[in-house]
């Protein structure tokens, strides 16, 4: 393997997933993020290696297998295809899928244990204390107790069990000072930075040696020379990051030395301690370099609770993929979740992102431009020799956005990167609209072609930057522009030069993104729409609906709220429900005088609330049109005020 400088290669990993069930949206999330990071580095012309896989040993898996009445190996085998096919259907391009039951991994872990025993960093002792099977965690610190005086896990809050067994210990305490020194010298080790403080505090509070074997279970890697013991599941699993690239395997030394140390380990916040304390200490003991960085993300929650099989609130990614396609779901995950925080999953938000961001802002822009070009016989669009002022301005905006996008990506703030990209998409839309190219086509051909070219260059930039998130769709977009997409060179650097000298050979394609409501219409005639677990739960009973008082009312007065750029204050006659003062956020779409005298639909039993110091006594209903404009809901013929909608 040729020697590449560190800046030319990138090794990224996901946690390996416990196989107690098929994957859910939470397990997909880390994998999508890793795929985005890997593809982003490909765009930068780097050689990448991306590993994901499954964590198959330990008490948690053994218990689940027993419950299912299966042998552990048979049990874990039954889920592997589901993992691989979900990842494939979401266009995850991992270079390797590791299973901790793979013989090469088991052998390498045994060698590693032996090496540490010989070195004196592993010794035999006795463990007496609490254990959380759910987290596979030995509990050392003082922990909470419930009313029955059962010790609760400090991480997940579940009841723990008492373990009292002979075991091998790893001399974690020996590495306390070395670890603290490492954190001090590497303040960027963890993204986001704040999480490093938690780790430092934990280490400073004192590290005890870590139990590293179990005798109460047999489902694990046998300890070398003492097969009464099996390796503690975390000591087994963390090593996947090195065994996946060849550690401890004959003929794989070169590969291992090429890829190690990893550039990025990605994980959720609940397993940071294992990665930021145990794993570096294991590596120090093994005299190996430490990974360069860790990215810690929040949880996907449902109804504010971590999505997890044991809470029974999982969303099935297969159903989402069937309903919305893989790439809109990838986009939603990366855009909607602020990486540092937990984010509640919602179908409404997902559909909103698809309709508004993808179909309206992006898909329509491409469609409008290509349709207009075809109509005016301008399928081949060359860059002008000299750009005019407004196009130079747009290019300037584009270059600023590329720079912001890179800064956010370097810190793995994906949602911020996308937010700055979308601001630019909206600027391109505004530019296209303001230029009125459909008029220029008739009056000034050069100016018309220049608008097409500037829009084309903007779209090319957008498509390349979005490729890590929506690869196939963005390749389609680039096809429609008739430009090449090759990963050999550093495309980000090329974009940053802002050359804007492409010739576009425009081609019509189907709409890039279909709005969910249009898709549903199509699906009605096919087979029944699959129902998500979450949606099933969201059904309401007729009694629930009856609680909402929806009535017809006439707007008698309407005036703009001065200090607000959204609100209009309405005085509404709701018949027997009385006169109501209601605020509507539609200043952008309606003039007050357009509303006066109209009949609308109002919710009249909402708890009154203060808006800008004034009481709002209900809500007026609007629907968003195709063009993003809010349209007031109304009745088709005049009815008396106060009539209920049922």
Chain residues that interact with ligand MSP, rule: CB under 6 A: 15-18, 26-27, 29-30, 55, 237-238, 240, 267-268, 271, 299-300, 306-308
What is the torsional sign of CA 529, 530, 534, 536? positive
Nearer to ligand MSP, 306 or 322 (CB): 306
For tokens 């303001």, name the residue: 434
In the complex, minimum distance from the CB of residue 253 to ligand MSP, in angstroms, rounded to a whole number: 23
HSE toward the beta carbon, residue 129, CA cutoff 13 A: 17
Number of other CB atoms surrounding residue 311 within 10 Å? 12
In the complex, minimum distance from the CB of residue 232 to ligand MSP, in angstroms, rounded to a whole number: 12
In the complex, minimum distance from the CB of residue 39 to ligand MSP, in angstroms, rounded to a whole number: 19
Nearer to ligand MSP, 266 or 365 (CB): 266
Number of other CB atoms surrounding residue 356 within 10 Å? 15
* Angle between helices 364-375 and 445-466 in degrees, nearest 10: 150
In the complex, minimum distance from the CB of residue 195 to ligand MSP, in angstroms, rounded to a whole number: 13
Closest-CA residue to 63 (of 76, 50, 77): 76
Nearer to ligand MSP, 33 or 492 (CB): 33
Closest-CA residue to 309 (of 533, 85, 540, 32): 533
Cα–Cα–Cα angle for 19, 25, 27, nearest 5°?
40
List the beta bridge partners of residue 603: 550, 619
Nearer to ligand MSP, 183 or 241 (CB): 241
Closest-CA residue to 270 (of 74, 69, 448, 132): 132
In the complex, minimum distance from the CB of residue 11 to ligand MSP, in angstroms, rounded to a whole number: 15
DSSP labels, 10-79 = EEEE-PPEE-SSS--HHHHHHHHHHHHHHHHHHHTT-EEEEEEEEE--SHHHHHHHHHTTS-HHHHHHHH
Rounded CA-CA distance 465/291 in Å is: 27
DSSP labels, 492-524 = HHHHHTT-----EE----S-SS--HHHHHHHHH
Nearer to ligand MSP, 14 or 367 (CB): 14
Long-range pairs, 488-494, Cβ under 8 A, ≥24: 488/45, 489/45, 490/43, 490/44, 490/45, 491/43, 491/44, 491/45, 491/464, 492/43, 492/44, 492/402, 492/406, 492/464, 493/44, 493/45
Nearer to ligand MSP, 15 or 456 (CB): 15
For tokens 């979308």, name the residue: 422
Nearer to ligand MSP, 343 or 468 (CB): 343
Alpha-carbon 246 to chain mean position: 29
List the beta bridge partners of residue 504: 381
What is the phi/psi pair of residue 463, to 5°?
Answer: -65, -40
In the complex, minimum distance from the CB of residue 411 to ligand MSP, in angstroms, rounded to a whole number: 18
| Closest chain position to ligand MSP (CB) | 26
In the complex, minimum distance from the CB of residue 432 to ligand MSP, in angstroms, rounded to a whole number: 38
In the complex, minimum distance from the CB of residue 390 to ligand MSP, in angstroms, rounded to a whole number: 44
In the complex, minimum distance from the CB of residue 458 to ligand MSP, in angstroms, rounded to a whole number: 34
47-55/9-13 β-pairing? parallel
In the complex, minimum distance from the CB of residue 15 to ligand MSP, in angstroms, rounded to a whole number: 4
Nearer to ligand MSP, 221 or 300 (CB): 300
In the complex, minimum distance from the CB of residue 271 to ligand MSP, in angstroms, rounded to a whole number: 5
Coil, helix or strand for 345? coil
Cα–Cα–Cα angle for 219, 223, 224, nearest 5°?
140
Secondary structure of 302-344 as H, E, C letters: ECCEECCHHHCCCCCHHHHHHHHCHHHHHHHHHHHCCCCCCEE
130's tokens? 């609490």
For tokens 């608008």, name the residue: 451
Coil, helix or strand for 644? strand
In the complex, minimum distance from the CB of residue 554 to ligand MSP, in angstroms, rounded to a whole number: 48
Nearer to ligand MSP, 267 or 451 (CB): 267
Nearer to ligand MSP, 268 or 372 (CB): 268
In the complex, minimum distance from the CB of residue 307 to ligand MSP, in angstroms, rounded to a whole number: 4
Nearer to ligand MSP, 240 or 406 (CB): 240
Nearer to ligand MSP, 18 or 112 (CB): 18
In the complex, minimum distance from the CB of residue 312 to ligand MSP, in angstroms, rounded to a whole number: 13
In the complex, minimum distance from the CB of residue 513 to ligand MSP, in angstroms, rounded to a whole number: 25
Nearer to ligand MSP, 314 or 365 (CB): 314
In the complex, minimum distance from the CB of residue 215 to ligand MSP, in angstroms, rounded to a whole number: 21
List the beta bridge partners of residue 161: 131
Q: Exposed (0-12), middle (13-18) or buried (19+): which is 206, by Cβ within 10 Å? A: exposed
Nearer to ligand MSP, 20 or 355 (CB): 20
Nearer to ligand MSP, 116 or 238 (CB): 238
572's tokens? 């509404």
What is the phi/psi pair of residue 213, to 5°?
Answer: -145, 160
30's tokens? 């880390």
Nearer to ligand MSP, 50 or 583 (CB): 50
């Amino acid at each position: 393997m040729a020697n590449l400088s560190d800046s030319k290669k990138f090794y990224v990993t996901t946690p390996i997933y416990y196989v107690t069930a098929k994957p859910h949206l939470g397990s997909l999330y880390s994998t999508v993020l890793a795929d985005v990071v890997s593809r982003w580095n490909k765009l930068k012309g780097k050689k990448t290696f991306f590993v994901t896989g499954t964590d198959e040993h330990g008490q948690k898996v053994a218990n689940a297998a027993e419950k299912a009445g299966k042998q552990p190996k048979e049990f874990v085998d039954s889920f592997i295809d589901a993992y691989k096919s979900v990842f494939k259907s979401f266009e995850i391009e991992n270079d390797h899928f590791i299973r901790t039951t793979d013989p090469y991994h088991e052998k390498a872990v045994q060698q590693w244990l032996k090496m540490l025993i010989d070195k004196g960093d592993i010794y035999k002792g006795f463990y007496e204390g609490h254990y959380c099977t759910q987290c596979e965690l030995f509990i050392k610190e003082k922990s909470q107790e419930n009313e029955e005086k059962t010790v609760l896990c400090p991480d997940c809050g579940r009841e723990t069990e008492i373990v009292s067994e002979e075991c091998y210990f790893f001399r974690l305490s020996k590495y306390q000072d070395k670890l603290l020194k490492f954190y001090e010298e590497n303040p960027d080790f963890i993204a986001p930075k704040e999480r490093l403080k938690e780790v430092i505090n934990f280490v400073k509070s004192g590290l005890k040696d870590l139990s590293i074997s179990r005798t109460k279970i047999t489902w694990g890697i046998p300890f070398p020379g003492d097969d009464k013991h099996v390796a503690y599941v975390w000591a087994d699993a963390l090593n996947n990051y090195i065994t996946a690239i060849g550690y401890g395997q004959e003929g794989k030394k070169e590969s291992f030395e090429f890829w190690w140390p990893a550039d990025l380990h990605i994980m959720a916040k609940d397993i940071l301690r294992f990665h930021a304390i145990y794993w570096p200490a294991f590596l120090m003991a093994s005299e190996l370099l430490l990974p360069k960085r860790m990215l810690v993300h929040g949880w996907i929650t449902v109804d504010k609770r971590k999505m997890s099989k044991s809470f029974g609130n999982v969303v099935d990614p297969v159903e989402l993929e069937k309903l919305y396609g893989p790439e809109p779901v990838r986009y939603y995950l990366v855009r909607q979740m602020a990486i540092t925080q937990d984010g509640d999953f919602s179908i409404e938000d997902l559909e909103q992102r698809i309709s508004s961001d993808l179909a309206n802002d992006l898909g329509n822009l491409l469609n409008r431009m290509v349709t207009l070009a075809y109509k005016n016989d301008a399928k081949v669009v060359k860059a002008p020799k000299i750009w005019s002022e407004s196009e130079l301005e747009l290019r300037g905006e584009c270059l600023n956005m590329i720079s912001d996008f890179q800064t956010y990506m370097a810190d793995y703030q994906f949602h911020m990167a996308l937010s700055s990209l979308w601001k630019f998409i909206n600027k391109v839309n505004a530019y296209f609209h303001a230029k009125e190219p459909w008029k220029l086509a008739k009056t000034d051909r050069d100016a018309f072609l220049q608008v097409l070219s500037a829009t084309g260059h903007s779209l090319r930039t957008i498509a390349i930057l979005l490729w890590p998130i929506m690869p196939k769709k963005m390749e389609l977009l680039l096809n429609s522009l008739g430009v090449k997409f090759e990963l050999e060179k550093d495309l980000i650097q090329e974009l940053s030069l802002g050359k804007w000298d492409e010739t576009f050979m425009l081609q019509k394609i189907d709409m890039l993104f279909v709005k969910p409501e249009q898709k549903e219409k199509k699906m009605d005639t096919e087979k029944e729409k699959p129902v998500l677990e979450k949606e099933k739960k969201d059904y309401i009973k007729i009694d629930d609906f009856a609680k909402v008082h929806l009535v017809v009312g006439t707007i008698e007065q309407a005036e703009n709220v001065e200090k607000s750029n959204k609100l209009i204050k309405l005085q509404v006659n709701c018949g027997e429900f009385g006169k109501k003062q209601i605020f509507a956020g539609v200043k952008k779409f309606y003039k007050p005088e357009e509303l006066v005298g109209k009949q609308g639909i109002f919710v009249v039993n909402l708890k009154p609330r203060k808006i800008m110091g004034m009481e709002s006594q209900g809500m007026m209903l609007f629907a968003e049109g195709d063009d993003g404009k809010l349209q007031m809901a109304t009745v088709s013929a005049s009815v008396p005020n106060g009539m209920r909608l049922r």
